[in-house]
Amino acid sequence: MKDGIENWLQADLALRRVGLGDIEIARLQADLGEAVARIKTDYDVKIGALLAVRKEAVKALGAFVKAHRKDFDGKSHRLTHGVVGFRKGKGSIAFQWKVETILEALRVRYLTACIRVEETPNKDALGLLDDAQLESVGCRRVEGRDQFFLDPDLERITERPA
Q: Per-residue confidence of the chain (162 residues) as pLDDT tens digits?
A: 457 999 999 999 999 999 999 999 999 999 999 999 999 999 999 999 999 999 999 999 999 999 998 888 888 888 899 999 988 888 889 999 999 999 999 999 999 999 998 889 999 999 999 999 999 999 999 988 888 778 888 888 888 766
> What CA–CA distance (Å, rounded) separates 55 from 60?
9
Residue 105 CB contacts under 8 Å (≥ 6 apart), including other chains: 97
Bridge partners (DSSP) listed for residue 84: 77
Question: 142: closest CA among 151, 157, 131, 154?
Answer: 131
State the alpha helices, DSSP H only, in 87-142: 99-108, 123-126, 131-136
